């Protein structure tokens, strides 16, 4: 059971990093893949929220992350 929990944390870490870097790069370059960039940001936000809920991070940071996810959903909807 402990190994499965560690595996989920590693996957969430990887998704957070790839989503953040990939999403920000695609949106900043503005090369026509903005919807994919916003999707990656949403994945990153959800996985980082999972990591925050597993830790003792301040709930204000979690609230800001929820707002970021909302904004990214709006951005994703704009480019569909």
pLDDT digits (tens, 9 = 90+) for 15-74: 999 999 999 999 999 999 999 999 999 999 999 999 999 999 888 999 999 999 999 999
pTM, full prediction: 0.88
Show Cβ contacts of residue 40 under 8 Å, excluding neighbours closer than 6 positions.
18, 19, 20, 22, 23, 26
Q: What are phi and psi of 53, to 5 degrees?
A: -70, -25
Dist CA 26 CA 44 (whole Å) = 14
């Amino acid at each position: 059971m402990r190994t499965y929990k560690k595996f989920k944390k590693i996957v969430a870490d990887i998704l957070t990093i790839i989503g953040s870097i990939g999403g920000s790069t695609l949106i900043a370059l503005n090369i026509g893949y903005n919807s994919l960039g916003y999707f990656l940001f949403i994945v990153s936000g959800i996985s980082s929220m999972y990591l925050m809920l597993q830790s003792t991070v301040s709930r204000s940071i979690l609230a800001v992350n929820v707002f970021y996810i909302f904004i990214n959903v709006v951005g994703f909807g704009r480019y569909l």
